[in-house]
Amino acid sequence: MACKRPAPDGGDAFLTGASPCCKKPRPLFTSIFNYEYLHKLGAGSYGVVYKAHDRRTGETVAVKWVRPRRGLAHGQPADLAAFARERDCLAACRGYPSIVQLRDVAANPSNWDVFIVMEFVGANSLRDFIAGCPFSEGETPVLMRRLLAGVRAMHRAGMAHRDIKPGNILGPAFTLKICDFGMATTVPPPYEPYMVGTLYYNSPEQLTEDGLNGQYDGKAVDMWVAGCVMAELLTGDKRMTAEAALEHRWFTEEADSPAVLSCLAAITS
């Protein structure tokens, strides 16, 4: 029988590196604790997300099911390290409307499975809304103010997301919320000695030798990506291809379009 632990401390017993007391077959996600399975929403870098029903409140929620199985990070499974980061960062950002809200945390002692329960804000991401169809110069500042409010809230809480991108911004258009905090951190640099984030949205300093050794400012990276998202909203295309990023062509590409500059002026006015 799985035991439930309240957020934000849930799962701490499974982050010590000790083996579970017994091994049992992993369950299918049909229901867990107080949450009844509805359907799968998608899979991320280290977990699978399901839409579920909270039997106690009637609320529809999103449950990230983390099933640790990969290599160790700081003496514990890497997926559990990501789980701990996401749990702690979501807890630090409670009450901010531009960030998906934490509802609960639970853990299963028989197999190391851990669960993050969040508010459900829709199955679509900003990536789905863009989908080759740019937003107007009037719409984009509205979205960007919402996004930047979330970024500001994270930074005030002492954390950097490090993987902001359209696919990690959820919800109906104009009520967007930042999600997926598996790469977020509350510690200052230097960071892990390897690349984090998504290549299309990595900042110039992240792909330098120092950056690949963790020597960069995570909060500055978040602001760089916010600019990339703004350009993508206006053009419908990624600001930089992976090949161009690897070739360090940020400073040799043509200047931003008038629409991008106009939107930036509207946001800052």
The CATH number of the domain holding residue 54 is 3.30.200.20
Domain boundary among 119, 140, 162: 119
Q: How far apart are CA 30 and CA 124, in angstroms?
A: 23
Give catalytic status of residue 163 as yes or no: yes
Domain check: are 177 and 236 in the same one?
yes
Encoded tokens for 77: 């499974």
Domain check: are 30 and 137 in the same one?
no
Enumerate residues 6+ apart whose C-beta is below 8 A from 253. 240, 244
Domain check: are 131 and 110 in the same one?
no
Count the Cβ atoms, other than its own, within 10 Å of residue 134.
Answer: 17
Domain check: are 112 and 156 in the same one?
no
Q: What is the pLDDT along the chain (269 residues), one digit of tens a residue?
A: 344 433 333 555 545 544 444 444 455 566 677 899 899 998 877 889 999 999 999 999 999 998 776 544 444 567 788 888 899 999 999 999 999 999 999 888 777 788 999 999 988 899 998 886 889 989 999 999 999 999 999 999 999 999 999 999 998 777 899 999 988 988 788 888 888 888 888 888 888 888 888 889 999 999 999 999 998 998 888 766 555 555 554 444 555 566 666 666 666 66
Q: How far apart are CA 83 and CA 50, in angstroms?
A: 16
Domain check: are 143 and 18 in the same one?
no
Domain boundary among 119, 136, 168: 119
Domain check: are 186 and 244 in the same one?
yes
Known binding residue 177? Answer is no
Total of domains in the chain: 2
Q: Each residue of 182-195: pLDDT tens digit? A: 889 887 888 888 88
Enumerate residues 6+ apart whose C-beta is below 8 A from 157. 89, 92, 93, 186
Domain check: are 160 and 230 in the same one?
yes
Domain check: are 168 and 240 in the same one?
yes
Q: Cα 119 to the chain's mean position, in Å?
A: 14
Among all chains, which residue has been given the structure tokens 């010590």?
A: 16
Domain check: are 14 and 112 in the same one?
yes
Q: How far apart are CA 207 and CA 195, in angstroms?
A: 8
Domain check: are 98 and 209 in the same one?
no
Q: Each residue of 68-84: pLDDT tens digit? A: 765 444 445 677 888 88
79, 88, 113, 163: the catalytic one is 163
Q: Which of 133, 207, 124 is nearest to 172 (CA)?
A: 124
* CATH number where 258 lies: 1.10.510.10
Domain check: are 89 and 169 in the same one?
no
Domain boundary among 119, 149, 167: 119
Domain check: are 8 and 68 in the same one?
yes
The residue segments making up the domain with residue 38 are: 3-119
Residues of the chain with pLDDT > 70, as a percent, come to 72
Say what the pTM is: 0.78
